[in-house]
Amino acid sequence: SILIMIRGLRKVYPMGRQQAVQALAGVDLDIPAGSFTVVMGPSGSGKSTLLHLIGGLDRPTAGSIQVNGQRLETLDENQLAEYRRKMVGFIFQAFNLVSSMTALENVAFPLRFSGVPPARRRQIALNLLRQVGLENRAHHRPTELSGGQQQRVAIARALVHQPRIILADEPTGNLDTASGYSIMQLLSELHRAGHTIIVVTHDTRMHRFATHLVYLLDGRVVTREDYEAAANFA
Ligand code: ADP
Ligand code: ADP
């Protein structure tokens, strides 16, 4: 079944006196529940914008995103915040951890705002760190962890509300070859556990884990043939 239905999605960034930038120029896309979708495209093709709109971090200029039957454009700010909290977990290239907090505190942090008592928060965070193989680094701060370990902490944090959807924007972009690959394997495990995964990446090793590939050029979804033809001219 289709979990995310995208129709006529457009995003225009106003640029003051300069000409506005059209980041998405009318995207239609269906994301099946339980799929592992890899989004490819050159820099500036709209990949991050697409991920942000699906994650409810920003609003489209036009068009619609329906997630599990709910139209995001009809949600007010509070409802959109609740959607972000409950339905999606975000993973970024730069990890985005709080440097003054330990791994455990970083993972537990989002639970502060959901009425979960402190002891339970710690327990949940520790279980998630165990799940990503970092139980023995719970009390380390980000600067005391390798890049791959920091990304594992970020993934544990993204899982804290048990989201159906995991959105990852170049999750291996700051990592060396080996730790990048282990992060892909971790995403693949989450996929097998039932999460719907959408990853933006230039790393073609991710393709072996994907159930669906989406190609973006100039803010539009194109076929693989058109994408490769364009790449050959680049
Ligand atoms: P960035 O994404 O920051 O531009 P990269 O090193 O990933 O840096 O890419 C350098 C250039 O090569 C970019 O202009 C990007 O468009 C292109 N590129 C890299 N990988 C791919 C890919 N898999 N498909 C299409 N274009 C790519
Ligand atoms: P990608 O992730 O494929 O590199 P983006 O979605 O980041 O593409 O960007 C698509 C286009 O929109 C680019 O031309 C980019 O410069 C522009 N853009 C992205 N974010 C903003 C923003 N906040 N304000 C203005 N322009 C933006």
Positive or negative: CA dihedral 141, 190, 27, 202:
positive
Q: What spacing in Å lies between the alpha carbon of 20 and ligand 2's midpoint?
A: 11
Task: Express each pLDDT in 10-26 by its tens digit.
Answer: 999 988 888 899 999 99
Cite the DSSP H helix spans in the chain.
47-54, 77-87, 103-108, 118-131, 147-158, 177-192, 224-233
CA dihedral 107, 94, 92, 161 (to 10 degrees): 10
Ligand approaching nearest to the C-alpha of 202: 1
- Ligand 2 site-directed mutation target among 11, 39, 48, most atoms within 8 Å of CB: 48
Ligand 2 atom 17: residue of nearest CA: 23
Query: Which atom of ligand 1 is closest in space to residue 43's alpha carbon?
Result: 16
- Ligand 2 site-directed mutation target among 11, 13, 92, 215, most atoms within 8 Å of CB: 13
- Ligand 1 site-directed mutation target among 38, 40, 43, 49, most atoms within 8 Å of CB: 43
Task: Express each pLDDT in 51-104 by its tens digit.
Answer: 999 999 999 999 999 999 999 999 999 999 999 999 999 999 999 999 999 999
Ligand 1 atom 1: residue of nearest CA: 43
This model of the complex carries an ipTM of 0.74
Cα within 13 Å of Cα(161), Cβ side: 22
pTM across the whole model: 0.88
Long-range contacts of 220-225 (CB under 8 A, 24+ apart): 220/24, 220/25, 220/26, 220/27, 221/27, 221/28, 221/29
Ligand 2 atom 24: residue of nearest CA: 13
Flag whether pLDDT at 234 surpasses 70. no
